[in-house]
Structure 1
Amino acid sequence: MKIVNGSKQLEQLLSSPKTIHQLPVPALVERALMNHEGELTNTGALSVQTGTYTGRSPKDKFIVDEPSVRTTIDWGSVNQPISQSTFKALYEKVLYYLQQKDVRYASNGFVGADPAYQLPITYVNEFAWHHLFARQLFIREGQPGKSNQEPFTIVSAPTFKANPTIDGTNSEAFVIISFEERVVLIGGTEYAGEMKKSMFSVMNYLMPDEDVLPMHCSANTNENGETALFFGLSGTGKTTLSASTHRSLIGDDEHGWTEAGIFNIEGGCYAKCIHLSQEQEPQIWNAISFGAVLENVAVSEGKPNYDDAHLTENTRAAYPIEAIPNALKPSVAGSPTTIIFLTADAFGVLPPISKLTKEQAMYHFLSGYTSKLAGTERGITQPEATFSTCFGAPFLPRKPETYASMLGEKIEANDVDVFLVNTGWTGGSYGTGSRMKLRYTRAMVEAALQGELNQVETETDPIFGLRLPSRCPGVPDELLNPRNAWVDKAAYDKTANALASKFADNFVRFSSAKASIQQAGPTVPN
């Protein structure tokens, strides 16, 4: 069912003299300031607040139930269906709403740095700062015609509030993807991250048909072309750990893995900046300059206060990848030699680093364990244990096994070393223990990338079955075995066994996995 009226309305909207096209960054900043959408900080970055929605709103995300995708979408609480007729009516209402505005902003861009897989996009925004955000996060220059993908259009109207009774939504907010109409429709939320994450969901659906594995990970490489991937949910350290002074950044959040290698899906970075410091994260600190967008960061007399979380823990900075001095351009590199799975374990029982067998790698990829951190989603005010398949379940339209199978094949074909790194708590659970120091995590990651842990003597954790290195340059030996870092050993054993049981309970849904993968998980006490 083609949305003829919606398509005509979109054409009219884009051709209207009230729609301003391809405004450069300085003009968008000027517009945002003129419209009182934000304020300029002493770094030159534009500071904005997103109101009620300071993170993603997963319960308000839908995919249109269309014939071409009906049998391939993994329908459920993550991928909620909405009917074509409901979408059609809401789409037309939003377009009409935008037509009544004095000004709208539209630009063309791309997602996917590899020309062979680039997806052209048009984004239409009600707010100038949203358009600035999109200009910084999406790829601004591409090679049209190299890809066989038809363009997508993002339509964002944050001040349009849906009526759930009439519009078929769950609240005033909505994020709806139509694969047949090639449209992402967003309304009722001012959180700009919905734009980038919705396009990641689109790529997660389209790319497997091109034999490309889409991944929620950051990536960097060295001068020898040795590429590393960092998987993990928001707040686990993907952006921080991939921004290295002696490695080239490929991208901080979303990538595709082809037979030839890796490519960045985005053209910018979206870094968490709570407690950001120049000393600990100089590249991110320096990237927050003119043209960057600061979301929900407290500002006093023009100066950002990165330690102030009264608006949200999920403070963010959006900036173009070129703001990182050693970013790789174009953002394309060879297949990885090392993969790092990142978790922020709020229980404080997973080791700070361990090397995984291939079977363990598949087990932990399918499990995707971490702790959701405060502010990354509505309603999350304290860290909460969660299992997010492939370290990105909220963005996977297809069944998890599709992505896991592709990853397993690529690990095998490229003989990749895989490590599990806990950037969470040590010496006790959240509230008792302390967060692992960043300098120790950096030292462990560096040792893994340099191959320094391959020859180190290891011991096997009796509960999780993970191989723990006995030493690591720059890290106190007593931290490498998490049990040794706890004063109360009995409390550690009880907490570790409880987490092992959570792993087992979660993995029941993957009963079709090979026995060797199922047996690679933790040992659950009787």
Structure 2
Amino acid sequence: MASFDLSQYGIHVNEIHRNTAVPVLYEIGLRKEPGTAISDVGALLVYSGEKTGRSPKDKRIVRSPESEKNIDWGDINIGLDQHTYMVNHERAIDYLNICERLFVVDAFAGWDPKYRIKVRIICTRAYHALFMQNMLIMPSAEELENFGEPDYVVFNGGGFPANSYTSEMTSKTSVDVHLERREIVILGTQYAGEMKKGIFGVMNYLMPLQGVLPMHCSANVGTEGDVTILFGLSGTGKTTLSADPKRKLIGDDEHCWTDEGTFNIEGGCYAKAINLSAESEPDIFNAIRFGTVLENVVYDKVTREVDYTDTSITQNTRASYPIHHIENVQVPCVAGHPKHVIFLTCDAFGVLPPVSKLSPEQASYHFISGYTAKVAGTEMGITEPQATFSACFGAAFMMWHPNTYAELLAEKIRRHEVTAWLVNTGWTGGAHGTGSRIKLKYTRAMIDAIHHGDFEGVDFTEDSAFGFQIPKSCPGVPDEVLVPENTWEDQQAYQATKAKLVGLFQENFKKFEAGVHAAIRAAGPKLP
């Protein structure tokens, strides 16, 4: 086969597959990668090995004079020196050089040509190549011919461990981002999501430099061109709720908001597959077919039928498919300015209302707070839901201080007269363990009501602690479900749990107070 040349990176492997046809990737994966199989509907069944989720504590950013002053260093953005980076880089190159075959994916991140970047993925598995061909925006034959030098290169040596004796390494896993060399090096994890989120992190650094807001959110658009963006961490319903048969999907996870409107960063979707069914999530269920990667799922060895309820490998089972597998999709994935911004949270305490309307100041407060519960399986070691605050609903991927993103959001909400909402997809009638998860059909009805303007004529009640406006009625939802207090049998326990949650919000926000506007500080919850 005509081989693609990677000698500029010190890689001298004879068999290199670039932007490979999907059937060819299937054939190589099935022949050469143990455990790979085809499901009864034609999806590629793959295993990521020991790591079945991201390893955020093993992510590093190289300290360089040009970018150092812009980065919010700390527990999330952990620094790495140039020398150690080069040790890991050489380790990855050495490993890639001993592989029988390599895969190259040359593609784009960002649907808007004005802002997109050219990305090159160099990896060792057909599974990883197919995953990234799904997740990035694939160039046409002409674009590929004129691709030139990429803006960023990902060296995925994940099949080989980092050396834990190397300084600053915390384990055998290492994901290193070098903004000046425009590279990402992956060692010691074959979880494909590290490549996708590595590129998202890079976009989160680059876009604010151009006055663009990068967002960890899903987005869709109605027949009138009205755009809704839904923020939320994994497990809050971001993918599920954006796949709405009544609206066109723009994307399920990563977007940018520019002076012209919104665009999707990705070319595909990466949906959680736990408990997936044709009844609850028909769009996602039907997207799983030939070309889809099904990660770490359990299946019947005879029929090849997948059991989406079986989480014996991981709670974080996933499906990766190109966006055109969704029937109702906006391609190119570009649209106008949002009319609604929805913050999705999964409140394990059962205190936040299923839907509430926020003032612009409250929107900024809740965006900076980024409250949810970490649901089992999203990260290694999380088995029980835990209350967590993740700034901008995606702190793990944000390189600047949260205020940078919050100010961009506030400015865009004001300029485009956007309505902000908080939607709780978590617990009702009590905290996790006592109450129950809010029914998906109720959440869908509330989001429909937002889109149809059904809340414009209804009465609202103000929450005594959080101050946001709770509608007293919603089509298709029992009235008592709307006000959390009414769903708890034990009122004393409700008040105590609410006080605890308010305290958690206040404690978390202390680290941001110095840098935010007084009106945003005042928009936080207070105990009456």
TM exceeds 0.5?
yes
Q: Is the 8 A contact 2:111 2:137 kept in 1?
A: yes
Aligned with 1:344 (options 321, 343, 346) = 346
Q: Which residue of the partner structure matches residue 58 of structure 2?
A: 60
1:331 aligns with 2:333: yes
The equivalent residue for 2:289 is 289
Supply the distance in 1 between the matched residues of 2:345 and 2:147 (Cα, whole angstroms): 35
* Corresponding residue SS for 1:318: strand
Q: How does 1:50-199 map to 2 (within 5 A)?
A: 50-141=48-139, 151-166=151-166, 168-199=168-199
- Using the alignment, how far apart are the partners of 2:131 and 2:178 within structure 1? 22
In 1, Cα distance between the equivalents of 2:112 and 2:249? Answer: 15
Any conservation in 1 of the 2:219–2:250 contact (CA below 8 Å)?
yes
SS in 2 for 1:117: coil
Structure 1 stretch 354-363 or stretch 512-521: which is displaced more? 512-521
**Residue 518 of structure 1: aligned partner:** 521
CA contact (8 A) 1:9 1:92 kept: no
Identify the range of structure 1 (445-454 vs 492-501) with the bigger mean alpha-carbon deviation. Answer: 445-454
Number of the residue aligned with 2:19: 22
Residues in 2 aligned to 1:458 and 1:147: alpha-carbon distance in whole angstroms:
54
SS in 2 for 1:263: strand
Residue 491 of structure 2 corresponds to 489
Partner of 1:251: 251
Contact 1:50 1:190 survives alignment (8 Å)? yes
Q: TM-score, normalised by structure 1?
A: 0.96
Secondary structure of the residue aligned to 1:162 is: coil
3-state SS, counterpart of residue 409 of structure 1: helix
How many Å apart are 1:20 and its aligned residue?
Answer: 1.9
Aligned length: 518
Tell me which amino acid in the other structure corresponds to 1:220: N
Task: Give, as a single letter, the amino acid of the residue that structure 2 aligns with 1:72.
Answer: N
The structure-2 alpha-carbon separation of the partners of 1:79 and 1:273, relative to structure 1 and needing over 3 Å to count, comes to same
Aligned residue in 1 for 2:420: 418
Task: Specify which of 443, 456, 459 is matched with residue 457 of structure 1.
Answer: 459
Displacement of 1:18 after TM fit?
2.2
Q: Distance in 1 between matches of 2:416 and 2:318?
A: 35
Q: What is the distance in 2 between the residues matched to 1:24 and 1:124? A: 16
Distance 1:141 1:241 in 2: 29
- Per-residue CA deviations over 1:58-102 (Å, capped at 9, x if unaligned) read 110000111111111111110111111111121012101111111
Shift of 1:168: 3.7
- Residue type of the partner of 1:389? A
Is the CA contact (8 Å cut-off) linking 2:72 and 2:400 kept in structure 1? yes
Shift of 1:362: 0.7
Preserved CA contact (<8 Å) 1:118 1:149: no
SS at match of 2:294: strand
Matches within 5 A, 1:366-515: 366-512=368-514, 513-515=516-518
1:515 partner amino acid: A
- Unmatched segments (≥5 aa) in structure 2: none
Residues 79-131 of structure 1: per-residue CA shift (max 9 Å, x gap): 11111111112101210111111111112101000000110011011111011
Give the C-alpha shift of residue 148 in structure 1.
13
CA distance in 1, matches of 2:373, 2:91: 38
CA deviation profile, 1:28-73 (whole Å, cap 9, x unmatched): 1111111125111101111122222111101100001111111111
Letter in 2 for 1:514: H
Rounded to whole Å, the distance in 1 between the matches of 2:68 and 2:35 is 40
Q: Distance in 1 between matches of 2:292 and 2:373?
A: 28
> C-alpha distance in 2, partners of 1:371/1:201?
22
SS of 1:90's equivalent in the other structure is helix
Relative to 1, partners in 2 of residues 1:190 and 1:386: Cα closer, same or farther, differing over 3 Å? same
8 Å contact kept, 1:38–1:48: yes
Deviation, 1:485, is: 0.6
- 1:317 is matched with 319
What secondary structure sits across from 2:70 in the alignment?
coil
Deviation at 1:222, TM superposition (A): 1.1
One-letter identity of the residue aligned with 1:32: G
Instruction: Give the Cα–Cα distance (whole angstroms) in 2 for the partners of residues 422 and 390 of structure 1.
Output: 16
Rounded Cα–Cα distance in structure 1 between residues aligned with 2:131 and 2:6: 27
Is the aligned partner of 1:31 residue 2:14? no
Residue of structure 1 equivalent to 2:221: 221
Once the two structures are TM-superposed, the CA of residue 144 in structure 1 deviates from its matched residue by: 8.4
Whether contact under 8 Å (1:270, 1:318) holds in the other structure is yes
Post-superposition offset of 1:11: 3.4
What's 1:3 paired with? Answer: none
- Single out whichever of 505-514 and 104-113 deviates more from structure 2: 505-514
How does the TM-score come out when normalised to structure 2? 0.95
Relative to structure 1, is the Cα distance of residues 505 and 168 closer, same or farther in structure 2, using a 3 angstrom cutoff?
Answer: closer
Aligned residue in 2 for 1:4:
none
- State the distance in 2 between where 1:8 and 1:262 align: 35
C-alpha contact 1:116 1:147 (8 A) present in aligned 2:
no
Counterpart for residue 232 of structure 1: 232
Q: Distance in 1 between matches of 2:22 and 2:144?
A: 22
Contact 2:105 2:132 in 1 (8 A): no
What SS does the aligned partner of 2:510 have? helix
State which drifts further: 146-155 or 430-439.
146-155
Q: Distance in 2 between matches of 1:261 and 1:510?
A: 28
Contact 2:13-2:102 within 8 A present in 1 as well? no
Amino acid at match of 2:459: E
Q: Deviations over 1:435-482 (max 9, x none)?
A: 111000000011011111122101111122121101000001000000
Deviation string, structure 1 residues 223-267 (Cα, Å, up to 9, x no partner): 211000000000100110000111110000000110010000000
